[in-house]
Chains A and B, each alone.
Chain A
């Protein structure tokens, strides 16, 4: 019995470890996904034939950081979708613990804020785990080369979540600008600033 308990403990421990630290790093190849969207039925990265890359944000409805960054994410899509780097927003939170983050509320939020980008529901939390996302918002800038997608930046949007007017460093913009100019990204990773992703229990 004790052995069984220890075995269970070990498995739980390993699983937790996998959630906490695995996932894509800068330079990783990203595999495509298909997720339910508030706009179309489902969205895959392969749908974006002309994209040069993507600005992926794991985000949600309820978190104050996600809310504070909402307008800045909308602005990123306005600025970069036409240049080939559209925003793709993914909500990975467990809607059982946080009903504000369920699909119906995602649809309402996307409509209210007039999201110009798809807002996808990662109900199984598989993509958040694959990416190694731990927060909302958690940003990933991907570059496309043929059918290959490579992670070029992971982390925060900028250096001031509380006050958009006081931002000094725009990490995501700097990364995308560098990629558009064919230059290497100077700052490839920062700590994402947000609420912890609400994992299913």
Chain B
């Protein structure tokens, strides 16, 4: 069967579909489930993944976000990757993205929407009470450090990263 007429027929639709997806990706934060989160953080390489759970409404989180942005710059020549995981509701994807843009935060960011928190919080770390901010460090497909609470300064965060590199 020759698909070309079909492709031609729907090419406009396809093009609009691409534009739609692109536009959506531009305006709202990506939403990941737990499996996608694990795929992203549990990678078999020696990059240190510094994964910070935050939310736009969480004051101590928002206060420490600049430290993570600073980390990305300070460690740009080293295998360190900052990932910001928003705990905002998935209906607030656009607001989350606007917040990041407004503050010129360029780190990788997504919203984690993983169903029953009483299941997924324990899967991420059984010691986690569930409050944010929380920062997890992953390397070689393993969690190497868990920190519940905020960081008082960039120096405090930098020291931990140095010790886990």
Contact = CB atoms under 8 A, between A and B. Distances in A.
Tell which of B59, B113, B131 has the most Cβ of chain A within 10 Å. B131
Contact of B131 (A97, A190, A195): A195
A142 interface: no
A191 B130 contact: yes
Given A64-B57, A134-B129, A195-B131, A190 B118 contact: yes
Nearest to A197: B131
A159 B129 CA distance: 15
A174 to B, nearest CB: 13
B118 A195 contact: no
Contact of B116 (A62, A63, A169): A169
A193 interface: yes
A135 B131 contact: yes
Contacts of B116: 159-160, 168-169
Contacts of A191: 117-118, 121-122, 129-130
A192 interface: yes
A135 B148 CA distance: 14
Contacts of B89: 64, 68, 162
A1 B131 CA distance: 36
A134 B90 contact: no
B13 interface: no
B60 to A, nearest CB: 8
Contacts of B130: 135, 191-194
Interface in B111-133: 113, 115-119, 121-122, 129-132
A68 B92 CA distance: 13
B90 A162 contact: yes
Contacts of A135: 129-131
Contacts of B115: 159-160
Interface residues of A, number: 22
A134 B57 contact: no
Interface in B43-71: 55, 57-59
A156 B117 contact: yes
B104 interface: no
A27 interface: no
B84 to A, nearest CB: 18
A196 interface: yes
B91 interface: yes
A161 interface: yes
A96 B101 CA distance: 30
A109 to B, nearest CB: 16
Contacts of B58: 195
Interface string A43-77: 00000000000000000001110001000000000
Interface string A150-164: 000001100111100
Interface of B: 55, 57-59, 88-91, 113, 115-119, 121-122, 129-132
21 contacts: A64-B55, A64-B89, A68-B89, A135-B129, A135-B130, A156-B117, A156-B118, A159-B115, A159-B117, A159-B119, A160-B116, A162-B91, A168-B116, A190-B118, A191-B121, A191-B122, A191-B130, A193-B130, A195-B131, A196-B131, A196-B132
